[in-house]
Amino acid sequence: MADKRDANEKELVTAWRQLHCHWIPMNREAGFDGILLSPVTGTHIVEVKNPERKWKLTDAEQKTKAEVEARGVPYQIVETVEQAVKLARG
């Protein structure tokens, strides 16, 4: 089964690349969409959601979010370019 990506992910990745960030996309089983490497704010676990659609975290996403946050690591949910830029720049 092909991984379904949110329609706005490409736009967010483009913004991150313009800020000299690196995006590592993950597969569906990971429970998040990708790892963002920012030269300013460091490493982030990111779930991309489309603000134009009603959304909720999948079971896998909820499980990963709980596991990550239990270890003191933020699980970032990004919907807009503005949020993407803020995450990358701080």
CATH number of the domain bearing residue 22: 3.40.1350.10
The tens digit of pLDDT for each residue in 1-30 reads 446 788 899 999 999 999 999 999 999 889
Residues in the chain: 90
Say what the pTM is.
Answer: 0.92
**Residue 27, domain member (yes or no):** yes
Total tally of structural domains belonging to the chain: 1
Buried b (16+ CB within 10 A) or exposed e, 18-29: ebebebeebeee
The tens digit of pLDDT for each residue in 26-36 reads 998 899 999 99
Q: What residue numbers bound the domain in which 59 lies? A: 9-89
pLDDT value, residue 70: 98
Average pLDDT, the chain: 94
Distances (CA, A) of 27 to 2, 3, 14, 41: 9, 6, 19, 24
Give mean pLDDT, residues 40-57. Answer: 96
